[in-house]
Amino acid sequence: MERLKLMTDNMRARSILGFALLLALLMNGLYFMMPYDAVNPYEYLHGINLSTFLALDIFIGGAVVPLIALVGGYLIHSYSGIGVGNLAKVLGFLLALGIVHTFFVHAFDFLPGLALMGLVTVLFVRAHWSAPLFSGLALFAVHLTTNVLVGFFTNIGSPTDIIYTAMQDVTEYTSVFRDTDYFAIVAMNIEIFSQNALSSLYGLIFTVLPWLLIGLSFGKLDVVRMIADGPVMAIVLFVVLAGGGIAMKMAQVLTLGSYSGRLLAENFGGPVLALGYFFLLAYATIVLPGRIIGVFSRAGRYIVTLYVLSNILFMLVFYGIGMRMYGEMEISSMIWLASAAYIFLLVLSAVMEKYNVKGIEHLFANNSENDMKNKRDML
């Protein structure tokens, strides 16, 4: 209980972001190492490589972005004291940064969509907790009924219930990303980003915005205090949600990567698993020693800087301008690479804090607690 009093919502959200960074690295690693967006992994990968992917996908597929959105909504609540206008400025900067980052580093970056939906979320900052909660649940329910279940029952068992690898895209991605021409990579990134912009925006409304809103409502409800008052319930929630999410994710494995199986696994199993992760990580910020939590809180403080650096590192490892490992590295090696990068970033964040090194966050946020109206260290 003493820990609960000492740790602010902002510090707790930063700690959870620090934990979640590893999951983001693993997800982005899949996109950097192969044409993940254009393939059916069940026919593109083989043997131990496929088995490793299946194990990894069960725990991160469809869960990473909803988890980060949940924490993002919680973080927006923790900054509500600085005003809606200032929050909008920060998110606007993140949107611009995300677009630039997408063009020059990572074509499949989730940061622009997260920031854009965050701008919608700030409209609920002053609302009663029920408004963002029920709005988020309503959006998710509409998504399940109109997009997921309709698609699931339409395609299950049909001859078209299969994900085909887009060989033309695979060939194009491989030739460009393995090339040493950086400007060709930038052109490809811009092309990927601009493709189907309207459908991507439609998807963000139903796959990102609901979890930002629900995360905001969690902050308003002070769910962490509820977890502290009833830790057994938190553990039960994690087991039920994570277990249910993983069970749903198994549908994709059992159907060998069919369209209907992936649709259900990614859009229902993934978000449910993300909720389980959120409750587990929130509980961890209560029970783990302060020294351990501090390691992840520091990473959360520099989360944007570390995230951008991790993608630059991946680009130098996998693309032709660096080590040219695109399409060559196995999934297990990528996992080791992501884990090593994560440890390096944790150490880097500690060094940056010790020597008061400014990160990207300093461009849009004042990192001094004394200058904050609510005495919180801004991200």
Instruction: Quick: pLDDT tens for 70-118.
Output: 999 999 999 888 899 999 999 999 999 999 999 999 999 999 999 999 9
Measured on CA atoms in the order 195, 197, 200, 204, is the torsion positive or negative?
positive
| Per-residue model confidence as pLDDT tens digits over 296-312 | 999 999 999 999 999 99
Distance set, CA 344 to CA 14, 33, 337 (Å): 18, 20, 10
> Taking phi first (over 0 means left), then psi (-120 to 50 degrees means alpha), and beta for anything else, what does residue 205 get?
alpha
| Per-residue model confidence as pLDDT tens digits over 329-360 | 999 999 999 999 999 999 999 999 999 999 99
Residue reference for tokens 């001859």: 159
Residues belonging to the chain: 379
Rounded Cα gap, residues 145 and 125, in angstroms? 28
- Residue 163's Cα: distance from chain center in Å? 24
What would you report as the CA-atom Rg of the chain, rounded to the nearest whole angstrom? 20
| Per-residue model confidence as pLDDT tens digits over 22-50 | 999 999 999 999 999 988 888 888 899 99
- Residue 220's Cα: distance from chain center in Å? 22
pTM (global) more than 0.75: yes
Rounded Cα gap, residues 55 and 332, in angstroms? 10
| Per-residue model confidence as pLDDT tens digits over 312-322 | 999 999 999 99
Rounded Cα gap, residues 27 and 66, in angstroms? 13
Cβ–Cβ < 8 Å for 234, 269: no
For residue 198, what are the contacts with CB-CB under 8 A and spacing of at least 6? none
SS3 374: coil
> Side chain identity at 212, as an amino acid letter?
L
